[in-house]
Amino acid sequence: MKIKISIIAVTLAAITLFTSACSKIDYSSGVDNESLPLPSFTDDSDSKDDTAPPANITTEHLKTSYNIEIKDFKLIKEAEEIVNDDKEILTDISLFTGKGYIKLGAYQSIDFLIDVPSDQHYSILISACGSGGAVTLTTGGTKLIDSENGKYKRWNGDLHGAYKVQQSRLFTDYSVAPVYLEKGLNKITLQAVNGNVYIDNISISEADTRSERYQKAGTSISGDEINYGRLQTMSYLKSIYGKQTLTAQYVTPNTNAEIDVIYRNTGRYPAIRCSDLMYCTKAGASLLSGINENTDIELAKEWARQGGMVMYSWYWYSPIGRTTLYAKDCEFDVTKAITDNEKYYTLSEEELKMLLDDGSISEECYTVLCDMDSIASRLKLLYDEEIPVLFKPMAVTDSAMYWWEQDETVYKTLWKMMQTRFEELHGLSNLIWICPATKGRMYPGDDYVDIIGCDIYNNSNNANLQGMLNTDSLTLNTKMTALTECCFTPDPDILYRDNCMWLWSGAQGGKYLINPDGYMTGDYISVAQMKKIYNHELTITRDELSIE
């Protein structure tokens, strides 16, 4: 159904990594030297892609109906039942079941067939231990392989998560989110990633994906300030949550290159334009030169005027020393930047400078707060236009990749400093705060978060239900959940089948969609897939938004 739009705006952001709250392993960073490059092309909205004319936007893809029949089922496959002829059965570790267990070295895999009684979802438990490695489970394919051009890893089956196996000699059950299997024989593949994994057995039983998570999630807003546009936006998001999913696309900052490609290929624009404020601090701006000016806020304002929602992430370049995002390269001691003295959170830069001069605060604390002011000044331009912003600062990764992830105290204090300063000093009541909750211990708490996010880069066309279940559990289903960053938007039919309707799915830009000339690469998503996503009854595009 097409709905005429009436909207103010909203904002979103870019992040990476399939981590502990959204599975159990890192895959790749969505923000590296390749994924968010400085634009090496000009934004040319008039350019044509003759191989992919715009879709007929009067025709929608209707959701696929799945004849799911829940039947009782229980099967345990011992390791010795699934081994290949050349795989040794081991018995050194005690407390195994059956006749023994098997060892999978890094990137070794093993597959087997199971016969299931009906089209339905099945729970799978992997009994494993190891030396700190991880195990993946794939259906309908084989294992991790190189992509067509050899640059990226992709899965030639449906990947259902990667589960970090704790270093131990005690077999433990690792639960896989409900997996959809069709009646009859199905191929299951287990593969070790990064280290040795010992497999004792695999248990499979029927599962039910019905849930009250969408009804239970609320619209409570963090902070004390009331902003009408923010309330409207949260109310609208709640009205669609669990029923439809918003289309969202990350752009190369200071361009609309990715969303222009989407329009040329589908005839539609995403509901949410996602960008990043990484070049808006003193350190970030030093990376811009020549034509690469900070014009992104103007693009966001125009996007909102045209009826779209706005989202920003903030990948924060270290304010002192080497200009980098990454902890391994960082010369900046963030532990000297944080303070529990909340009176500093709302002081002006002039007041902070006096404290710096008399030694009351550190240079690190002063520069962190000044960087926050630089970001706030950009967001204030959207506030002045009454544009709500989906705001997702400070990505969280399983490997503590970024300098602001040093520990949970650092992360939570930086978050609290930022939110307090933005709201109380700068009056930014238009921000909808999105936490990339990939680590439960880093979660700032419900009082500081509006929407909880999950970043998954598994390059496999499934719903990522495991990520939703893990993320939901951090807030006991009290927050709406978005797939805030991914390789590409999941197939809406699969989201519907698995009852995994993310609030939105933020498809990453750069190399995940376009080449340096601004044209689709096809490495991650095809034109046909994109047309289906943007012309599907379960997805919402810019022209279908209705926020009143």
Convert the pLDDT of each residue in 123-133 to its tens digit. 999 999 998 78
H or E segment and range at residue 113: strand 109-116
Residue 94's identity, in one-letter code, is S
- pLDDT classification of 14: cutoffs 50, 70, 90: very low
pLDDT surpasses 60 at 21 = no
Residues in the chain: 548
pLDDT surpasses 50 at 495 = yes
Residue reference for tokens 């000339």: 517
* Domain ranges for the chain: 74-207, 213-317+374-544
- pLDDT classification of 266: cutoffs 50, 70, 90: very high
pLDDT surpasses 80 at 142 = no
Report the 10 Å Cβ neighbour count for 446: 17
pLDDT surpasses 90 at 37 = no
pLDDT value, residue 59? 58
What is 74-207's CATH superfamily?
Galactose-binding domain-like (2.60.120.260)
| Helix (H/G/I), strand (E/B), else coil: 299 | helix
List of residues 6+ apart from 155 with CB closer than 8 A: 138, 141, 143, 144, 145, 458, 459, 460
pLDDT surpasses 50 at 150 = no
Mean pLDDT score, 310-318:
98
> Residue 67, class by beta-carbon neighbours within 10 Å (0-12 exposed, 13-18 middle, 19+ buried)?
exposed
CA angle 382, 258, 146 (to 5 degrees): 135
SS (H, E, C) 348-374: CHHHHHHHHHCCCCCHHHHHHHHHHHH
pLDDT surpasses 80 at 185 = yes
129, 242, 547 from 4: Cα distances, Å? 54, 21, 10
List of residues 6+ apart from 324 with CB closer than 8 A: 317, 318, 330, 403
* Radius of gyration of the chain from its Cα atoms, rounded to whole angstroms: 24
- pLDDT classification of 144: cutoffs 50, 70, 90: low
Task: Give, to the nearest 10 degrees, the angle between helix 296-305 and helix 363-383.
Answer: 30
List of residues 6+ apart from 528 with CB closer than 8 A: none
- Per the model's pLDDT, the better-predicted residue between 24 and 253 turns out to be 253
The pTM (predicted TM-score) of the whole model is 0.86
pLDDT value, residue 301? 98
- pLDDT classification of 225: cutoffs 50, 70, 90: confident
Per the prediction, the chain carries an average pLDDT of 85
DSSP state letter for 133: -
- Per the model's pLDDT, the better-predicted residue between 132 and 72 turns out to be 72
Structure-token pair, residue 328: 């391994």
pLDDT value, residue 290? 63
The torsion angles phi and psi of 38, rounded to 5 degrees, stand at -65, 140
CATH 3.20.20.80 matches 213-317+374-544: yes
Exposure string over 404-434, b if 16+ CB within 10 A, otherwise e: bbbeeebbbbbbbbbbbbbbebbebbbbbbb
- Per the model's pLDDT, the better-predicted residue between 11 and 186 turns out to be 186
pLDDT surpasses 50 at 48 = no
pLDDT value, residue 3? 32
* Alpha carbon 259 to chain centroid, angstroms: 18
Handedness of CA 119, 121, 127, 130 (dihedral sign): positive
List pLDDT tens digits, range 505-535. Answer: 999 999 999 998 888 988 889 999 999 999 9
Rounded CA-CA distance 218/442 in Å is: 21
> Residue 357, class by beta-carbon neighbours within 10 Å (0-12 exposed, 13-18 middle, 19+ buried)?
exposed
Could you tell me where the beta strands, DSSP code E, fall in 403-474?
431-436, 451-456
pLDDT value, residue 364? 96
Rounded CA-CA distance 56/2 in Å is: 13
| Helix (H/G/I), strand (E/B), else coil: 1 | coil
Judging by DSSP bridges, how do beta strands 389-393 and 431-436 pair with one another?
parallel
Which range (52-66, 140-154, 166-180, 487-501) has the least confidence? 140-154
Q: Which residue pairs, CB below 8 angstroms and at least 24 apart, start in 527-532?
A: 527/51, 527/52, 527/265, 529/488, 529/491, 530/262, 530/265, 530/266, 531/55, 531/265, 531/266, 532/61, 532/491, 532/492
Handedness of CA 488, 489, 494, 495 (dihedral sign): positive
Judging by DSSP bridges, how do beta strands 158-164 and 134-139 pair with one another?
antiparallel
List pLDDT tens digits, range 81-120. Answer: 988 667 789 999 989 999 999 999 988 888 899 999 999 9
User: Is 16 within 8 Å of 450 (Cβ atoms)?
Assistant: no
DSSP state letter for 422: I
Rounded CA-CA distance 367/349 in Å is: 10
> Would you give the end-to-end CA distance of the chain in angstroms?
18
List pLDDT tens digits, range 49-69. Answer: 434 444 445 457 888 889 999
User: Is 280 within 8 Å of 317 (Cβ atoms)?
Assistant: no
- Per the model's pLDDT, the better-predicted residue between 6 and 374 turns out to be 374
